[in-house]
Amino acid sequence: MDQETGRTAAVHLTHDGDYLGLLGPFGLTDPWWSSVGTLTERLSAEAGVPVVVVRLVGVTGGEGCSGGHTVYHAEALERPADRAPRPAGPEAEALLGPAERRAGWATPAGLRAALDWAERALTAVGRPVAGPVEQVRTWNLSGVFRLPTAAGPAWLKVINPAFNASEGEAIALFGAAAGPALVPTVLAADPAHGRVLLDDVPGEDCWGPSAEEVAQAVTGLVTAQVALAAEGRAGAAGLPDRTPGAVAAAVPGLLDRLAATAELTGEELDAARALAARLPELVGELAACGLPETVVHGDFHPGNWRSDGSGLVVIDFADTCFGHPVTDGLRPRGFVDGERWEQAAGEWARAWRERVPGCLPERALELAGPLVHFGYALRYQEFLDHIEDSERPYHEGDPAAEVRHAVAAAG
């Protein structure tokens, strides 16, 4: 077992419908269940052919989507010369068999189809694939692949269109509103299958952002949202409605579901129901702050900002919706230290005051915590409602946790 992360992995390997056996366990230096880059390298070396991870099929131990012992299904893209097909056995058959709500990229056929589409799309734009595809991440929400080309890498991302925004369309909205420098360049998109092909964004994700990066990200976002607000709901056609009113209306039903699963104590549930009864009043107070409803990124934290030291690009638009901009304004709070959060909040408030005279952004930040956390609780429940059982460990308990945060934010 790797001493740094404590994570191991075993893999059920298949090729074109044939079962080729169980590989591992391997010790992994990366603790995160969804990070499969080093694992696919190890598997490809063991099998002597390119191997990609199809999905997580089980996990024992670990927490926070990391650590423990993980078990995956992987597909050899070519037939290994030294691995003959063998009976899978009842346990492996149960793990590898079909399941309801399985993601499109979480089957061998679906994964091959996504990679084939990406290669065809790159050829069509004059950037044919020039080397082995690198699988970076796969989990219940997305799959991410790096495809080398002579003009630099391109990135394939696949998401479930049943409960996510079309990323190509969302990127186009923000790019048209704030300028293309704020968003990745879309090389091709297939919204029906949740696929988007993006040009490389140089730099690093902004975990621990600098003051300059915070200012760039926040100002760029607000600039886009002011422009998009002018178009109203018509400009957000097809995006989910996660406005404060819609969130307030959906919370009682969510609490009924959580009561049935006993994920909240009786005391917690009583406090949450009392808060839910106050939400219509809170919606009115938030509206009085004068910030317009607009297109919202939905997950505007520094890990979704990417910078090379000169420019900054916002990435990951799967949670884009029509809602209140304070959702994005509050999102960095859980990802930066106190000083940097004060700066982010100040930049956000200043940007809105400059563009919407008379609005009260500071007051919106003070008021919106319960509504924003309830909104995330609903979103996490949406994840759970659309993923297969083996993927539930990624988000089990998250709706209840966000409800607790909502109650705490209400003071």
pLDDT digits (tens, 9 = 90+) for 14-50: 999 999 999 999 999 999 999 999 999 999 999 999 9
Per-state percent for the chain, helix, strand, coil, to nearest 5? 45, 20, 30
Residue 157's nearest CA partner among 173, 176, 171 is 171
Q: Which domains does the chain have, with CATH numbers?
A: 7-96 (no CATH), 108-199 (3.30.200.20), 204-409 (3.90.1200.10)
pLDDT reported for residue 4: 46
pLDDT digits (tens, 9 = 90+) for 269-291: 999 999 999 999 999 999 999 99
pLDDT digits (tens, 9 = 90+) for 88-141: 999 999 999 999 999 999 999 999 999 999 999 999 999 999 999 999 999 989
C-alpha torsion sign, points 204, 338, 221, 395: positive
Mean of the per-residue pLDDT values for the chain? 95
CA distance 299 to 310: 23
CA distance 24 to 199: 35
